[in-house]
Chains A and B, each alone.
Chain A
């Protein structure tokens, strides 16, 4: 999910080195509970304003609330850079950012450090939201952030070739998918294509893909009580699917360097028959300006699992209020506006970002415009969160380490998962 960072933004991590240098004189942050007070101008710290739609929506708000104007504060485009700036802002207790646009995996960390104002559950009606998204805004049962965008993985497949090979339904399991692939490969136009790829480079995408393989086999990385439990036969069977697919060549070697965009380009060039990807690829691969060779030739399905449909890893963003900000009441109102149905509908149309409001997925007009919405809703409803832990950075690094060692063949799946269990047990207490 995190994309290639721009250099310096990341370096910034190191800058944190001294963050706590004055911290012996501990400033006790007052735990904000319940009321969000103060009205007036606020800022909205966010990374991406896709298609300028965010600015447009802010303009609409500002026109209606002249004394409570919202200003967008742009952060770097890469996720690490955004997290970095927000953490710097929090450690200097600056009130420069009011609303924070958080990646779903950051909420726990920010909440545990008391950098976020707690949100009163009574003020926010989340009944219309897709269930799995809600937990990404919670920490220890309390609400800290409202899901503003979601994301789930889809299996993109070459419908044209499937039709030609006489296969009528997309594969639901890995075994079916590889069997279908063997059939497709007999077609002359698919002879040189690779079977399958996801995001297998050693970065956040690998955590997503490896977790999906494990979850799809009935295994877990972290169980419902929050304890790591990854050294199980089910988890092993799941990860083994990827490992063996690499060994047998179903996953081309080059796919071990793929992030989202590398995979998309391969799929669009017709070099992949099946591809695990986010919904954003749908409209790009359907472009008819010559950039995609597969326009109109593919369809999407839920991700495959071991013995039935698989489970996607949940992506997306949450909106939270900085604990150090002024005018929190205005911020709360803006969050309600920004995550409301009307705004999310407009946002979907403008940016094709996955909404968090369930009803939008069933809206006939929208489904007509975005045919993948039905599959996406199924994907998100069935999706599993990545571990909602304070030390997420260490946890995801450990998962990447183990998964990469297994698929690159430097460790057996057994060994990799045993090591991972040991590491996670030390990290999550």
Chain B
């Protein structure tokens, strides 16, 4: 969590000094408005996560006593669970999964963004049949993940419809690069609508007058898109992409159902953590989860830093605008 918080003082301290009394008033209101969210998140996420971090420093039930029973109780092992991730076979598996996770993230999020924005623009401009488009766009996203995983598995099986269309037998579900393609197709199909829906909402909130003014100025559609639409929809788009990033970096179900466990070509970091947990090495699993968290936090931090002035920075801009006025 600390990674993202470092920039906060810069953003918050300036107004605090300037309009002290007002801030105190709104501060109290803010606490009131914020506390339910933090209460829920603290209980449902915070507590389990902290428990998990503690767990990652322990090892449990990894030896048998003379009667063959698992020795009960846990043992403090410091950072051993973490260092083990980076040694020997485990390190190979880790870096392979790290690469896969990153690869899936970059490729699918890029595709989803392009397709999603395209969808949103089409829906925004479509007049007749808009309801149909909207309904169809919801379908992939609304389908339970379990069901869509199964659906794609049967589409991609050796005698499945994908190969029937291609007139060529590709073993999509066997270990190898073709399985990566299968995962990317299924994932992009399922989640592009997420970006599409959010961007559409962003588009709908752009006042029509802005476009009319631009038209009067003689801006071409492309200029309108680049100069008006894109900047105005950017904050929404960035939040959508950010949450997609977080999701894909934790990807698990789809490769698991579609291709299967233990297949190197689609092994993700969450799958490694799952493998530890399912074999009852809880400490180690928690260590993987923590490492994954750190990686995701880093990615999110860089994303916000590089692109995201609009996401969390607009309040600041606004303030400076007001100060200038």
Contacts and interface: CB of A to CB of B under 8 A. Distances in A.
B3 interface: no
A262 B159 CA distance: 8
Given A140-B67, A202-B262, A393-B279, A21 B52 contact: yes
Q: Which size bracket describes the interface of B in this complex? A: 35 or more
Interface string B60-97: 11001001111011100000000000000000000000
A267 to B, nearest CB: 12
B277 A15 contact: yes
Contact of A257 (B54, B174, B273, B282): B174
Interface stretch (A2-10, A170-178, A209-217): A2-10
Given A13-B274, A17-B289, A262-B157, A7 B262 contact: no
Contacts of B277: 13-17
A16 B69 contact: no
Q: Which size bracket describes the interface of A in this complex? A: 35 or more
B285 A256 contact: no
A321 to B, nearest CB: 17
B250 to A, nearest CB: 10
B279 A14 contact: no
Given A112-B64, A397-B275, A11 B253 contact: yes
A28 B289 CA distance: 28
Interface stretch (B10-18, B123-131, B134-142, B146-154): B146-154
A400 interface: yes
Contacts of B316: none
A222 to B, nearest CB: 15
B256 A10 contact: yes
Main SS of the interface on chain A?
helix
A310 B254 CA distance: 37
B150 A254 contact: no
Nearest to A265: B159
B145 A8 contact: yes
Contact of B282 (A20, A80, A265, A400): A20
Nearest to A429: B64
B275 A17 contact: no
Given A114-B69, A393-B279, A18 B51 contact: yes
Interface in B256-304: 256-257, 260-263, 270, 273-275, 277-280, 282-283, 285-286, 289
Interface of B: 48, 51-52, 54-55, 58, 60-61, 64, 67-70, 72-74, 145-146, 149-150, 153, 157-159, 169, 171-175, 252-254, 256-257, 260-263, 270, 273-275, 277-280, 282-283, 285-286, 289
Interface of A: 4-8, 10-11, 13-21, 23-24, 26-29, 31, 80, 84, 87, 109, 111-114, 139-140, 201-203, 253-254, 256-258, 262, 265-266, 269, 390-391, 393-394, 397, 400-401, 404, 408
Given A26-B74, A266-B159, A400-B262, 5 more contacts: A11-B256, A21-B51, A26-B72, A112-B69, A140-B67
26 contacts: A4-B150, A5-B256, A7-B253, A10-B253, A10-B274, A11-B253, A13-B277, A17-B55, A17-B286, A21-B282, A23-B58, A26-B74, A80-B278, A113-B280, A140-B67, A201-B173, A203-B261, A253-B169, A254-B171, A257-B158, A262-B158, A266-B159, A390-B68, A397-B262, A408-B174, A408-B175
